[in-house]
């Protein structure tokens, strides 16, 4: 089985800790063939993109690691681009300056630059929060540049963590179908984010039912990522993620180079 962990954060992320060299060594120890380093470039309405991530230092370190680990580990230069619609001009400036292998398009902040993890779900209609979240993903899909959509059920992590509630995703099937139609029309894909297996929700993002729906809608481009922020998380759940893809009917995972997808058999 070809193992690729396509969602990893380094010390350069605001919530990251690890040196790139240590990440690469751990990936090799875990039998991972390929990684994508995808630090946070969250876009805020009132901040320049440069204040979020030291891109020059990060990408220089990645280039050095590519040389150091050449022939032993494939390393892709990526980013997790968060809610670019919050400030299209800053998002565009970032995209114009840097040449990347892979971009995860994600939503953390639905509105007012507030991350979903800060929400008090006791005071909110959880279904309405998730409906709005899917609308934000749809806007990102139609109007912005990315390769796969990240962690499609991100709010569910915190709804369960804080309130021990599970949202019924059947209520959103029509929205998912419309979202996947737009994703596929643009030649883009989605990720299976395995980090939920290490959290109280004990579920991948998205779960099997939504992965099957994506397949049913004609989706082919799909990556698997641990969303690791600490060294011990790297690659730990990648095999489980790829097995879930097989269960959903996928025969291949997707990898990227210079923003172009190719496929590896599971």
Q: What is the pLDDT of residues 180-238, one digit of tens each?
A: 999 999 999 999 999 999 999 999 999 999 999 999 999 999 999 999 999 999 999 99
Q: What's the pLDDT score for residue 94?
A: 98
Tally of residues, the chain: 266
List 105's β-bridge partners, or say none.
81, 149
Calpha distance 75→6 (Å, rounded)? 10
List 190's β-bridge partners, or say none.
149, 222
Tokens of 130: 């998730």
Q: What is the pLDDT of residues 18-61, one digit of tens each?
A: 999 999 999 999 999 999 999 999 999 999 999 999 999 999 99
Residue with tokens 């990408």: 59
Phi/psi of residue 192, each to 5°? -100, 110
DSSP 41: E
Burial of 89 (0-12, 13-18, 19+ CB in 10 A): exposed
> What residues contact residue 35 under an 8 Å CB cut-off, 6+ apart?
4, 5, 6, 8, 23, 24, 27, 73, 74, 75, 76, 234
Residue with tokens 């470039």: 41
Could you tell me the CA-to-CA distances from 145 to 3, 26, 36, 55, 258 in Å, in that order?
Answer: 26, 31, 17, 18, 14
Average pLDDT over residues 98-114: 97
Burial of 46 (0-12, 13-18, 19+ CB in 10 A): exposed
First to last CA, the chain: 6
Give 165's pLDDT tier (boundaries 50, 70, 90).
very high
Helix (H) or strand (E) run with residue 222 in it: strand 222-225
Q: What's the pLDDT score for residue 104?
A: 99
Q: What is the pLDDT of residues 53-93, one digit of tens each?
A: 999 999 999 999 999 999 999 999 999 999 999 999 999 99
Q: What's the pLDDT score for residue 202?
A: 95
Residue with tokens 């509105």: 111
Q: What's the pLDDT score for residue 80?
A: 98
Q: Please, are residues 169 and 153 in contact by the beta-carbon 8 Å criterion?
A: yes
Give 118's pLDDT tier (boundaries 50, 70, 90).
very high
Question: What is the average pLDDT score of the chain?
Answer: 97
Would you list the DSSP string of 49-110? GGGT--HHHHHHHHHHHHHHTTTT-EEEEEEEEE-GGG-HHHHHHHHHH---SEEEEE-SBS
Q: What's the sign of the alpha-carbon dihedral 78, 155, 266, 16?
A: positive
Domains of the chain: 4-265 (3.20.20.140)
């Amino acid at each position: 089985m070809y193992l690729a962990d396509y969602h990893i954060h380094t010390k350069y992320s605001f919530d990251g800790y690890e040196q790139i060299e240590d990440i690469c060594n751990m990936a090799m120890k875990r039998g991972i063939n390929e990684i994508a380093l995808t630090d946070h470039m969250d876009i805020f309405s009132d901040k320049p993109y440069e204040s979020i991530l030291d891109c020059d230092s990060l990408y220089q370190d990645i280039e050095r690691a590519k040389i150091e680990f050449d022939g032993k580990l494939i390393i892709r230069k990526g980013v997790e681009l968060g809610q670019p619609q919050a400030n299209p001009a800053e998002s565009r400036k970032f995209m114009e300056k840097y040449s990347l292998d892979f971009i995860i398009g994600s939503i953390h902040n639905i509105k007012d630059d507030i991350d979903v993890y800060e929400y008090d779900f006791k005071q909110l209609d959880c279904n309405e929060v998730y409906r709005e979240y899917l609308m934000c993903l749809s806007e990102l899909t139609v109007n912005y540049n990315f390769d796969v959509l990240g962690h499609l059920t991100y709010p569910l992590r915190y709804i369960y963590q804080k309130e021990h509630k599970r949202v019924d995703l059947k209520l959103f099937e029509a929205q998912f179908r419309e979202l996947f139609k737009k994703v596929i029309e643009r030649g883009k894909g989605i990720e299976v984010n395995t980090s939920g297996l290490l959290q109280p929700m004990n579920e991948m993002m998205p779960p099997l039912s939504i992965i099957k729906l994506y397949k049913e809608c004609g989706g082919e481009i799909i990556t698997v990522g641990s969303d690791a922020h600490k060294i011990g998380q790297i690659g730990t759940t990648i095999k489980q993620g790829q097995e879930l893809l097989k269960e959903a009917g996928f025969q291949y995972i997707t990898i990227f180079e210079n923003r172009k997808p190719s496929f590896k058999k599971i």
